[in-house]
Amino acid sequence: MGLIDILTRKKGVITGEDVMKLFQYAREHQFAIPAINVTSSSTVVASLEAARDAQAPIILQVSQGGAAYFAGKGVSNTNQSASIKGSIAAAHYIRSIAPAYGIPVVLHTDHCAKNLLAWLDGMLEEDEKYFKQHDEPLFSSHMIDLSEEDKDVNIAITRQYLQRAAPMKQWLEMEIGITGGEEDGVDNTAVDNNSLYTQPDDIYDVYSALAPVSPYFSVAAGFGNVHGVYKPGNVKLHPELLGKHQAYTKEKISSLEDKPLFLVFHGGSGSTKQEYLTAISHGVVKVNLDTDLQYAYLTGIRDYMFNRKEYLLKQVGNPDGDDKPNKKYFDPRVWVREGEKTMSARVKEGLTDFNTANQL
C-alpha cells in the first residue's frame, strides 16, 4: 500500500485531512516533500512534471514577492494588493492544471512576516469564501513567520491565525528561531548566530499553545539554517538538534509517538544529502527548495542562448544562410522550455534525495 491508497483525493490539490495523512505518512516512512517556490505558470509545470515522473507528491508555494510577480510587476502592491491577487491567481491556476499530472499537490504560501500580515489576511478571506462554496479552503496551507518577534508575541499571534484556519482544517506552518541569509527581501544576514538555533523548550511552548486549537500545524525550527547557497563550511547545520526537540516534547506530553511534531527544513539549498536525511529521520516532512531551483532554471536558458547565439541576433539570417528565418529559435516557447527542463531535473534530484520518489 502506498500513499495514494490512503488519500481521499488522489490527484490535484489536497486539503484538510488529506494533508494530515500525507504528513503522517511521510513522518512514518521517513521522507520529506520538497516545497517549490513558484513564480509563474512555467515554474509550476516544471515542478509538476518532475513530481509526476518521479511518482511523488509535491508542495507548490508562493512567497509574497513571488505572488506579486505572478500578478505582474506592473501592478501596484499597495496594501499587498498585488500579492493577494497574484496568490489567488496562482492558486486557481494550480488547482485547474494539477489534476492533469495525476499526483497529490499541497498548495502553500511561504514566509509571512508581521509587516506582511495584510497579505495573509487577504488570502484567508478568499479561503473563507471558497470554503463556503466548496467545503474546503482555496489554499491547503499557509506559513506565518513571526520569528523576528519576541517568542510570546510570535506564539500568541500564530495561535490567533490558527484559530481562524482551524474551522477549515487548514494547515498552518510557523517558524521559531530565525533562518539566516536573505530571501525575497527579508535580510537576516546580520543576525546573531545563536538566534539560528531553536531551544527544545521553545518548541514545547509552541506545541502547548497550538495543539489545543488544532492538530493542523508544523514548526520550522532553527538548527543553523540559512537561505541561499554559501561556501562549504560557512553554514553550520545541526539537524540532530531536531531529535532533541522531539524527545523533549514527547516527554512533556507523555506521547506514545517518538516524533509527535511535524517539522520543516528551511534554507535547504546547498545542504548535503546526509543533512537532509538526518533532519528527515527526526520528523522533518517538508523541505524548502528555492535558490538551487532558480539557478537550475537559469542554466537551461543560459546554455540555450550561448549555444544558439548566432541564430538569435536577428530575425532573419544565420549560419545556415542570410535568408534563413530564426523564428523557431527565438520563440519564447522554445527557450523558456529549456529552463523548465533543467529546473525539473533539479526538482527530481530533490525528490530522490528526500526519499519522496516512488512513494505514491
- Please check whether residue 238 is in contact with residue 274, taking contact to mean a CB–CB distance below 8 angstroms: no
φ and ψ at residue 50, rounded to 5 degrees: -65, -45
b or e along 105-127 (b: 16 or more beta carbons within 10 Å of the residue's beta carbon)?
bbbbbbbbbeebbebbebbbebb
Cα(first)–Cα(last) distance of the chain, in Å?
9
Q: Which residue bears the cell 500513499? A: 3
Q: How far apart are CA 336 and CA 329, in angstroms?
A: 11
* 257 DSSP 8-state letter: S
- Please check whether residue 357 is in contact with residue 53, taking contact to mean a CB–CB distance below 8 angstroms: no
* 212 DSSP 8-state letter: T
Q: Which residues are catalytic?
A: 110
From the centroid of its chain, how far is CA 274? 20
SS3 40: coil
Q: Using DSSP bridges, classify how beta strands 141-144 and 171-176 pair: parallel, antiparallel or unpaired.
A: parallel
Half-sphere exposure of 36 (CA within 13 A, CB side): 33
Q: How far apart are CA 195 and CA 203, in angstroms?
A: 14
SS3 137: coil
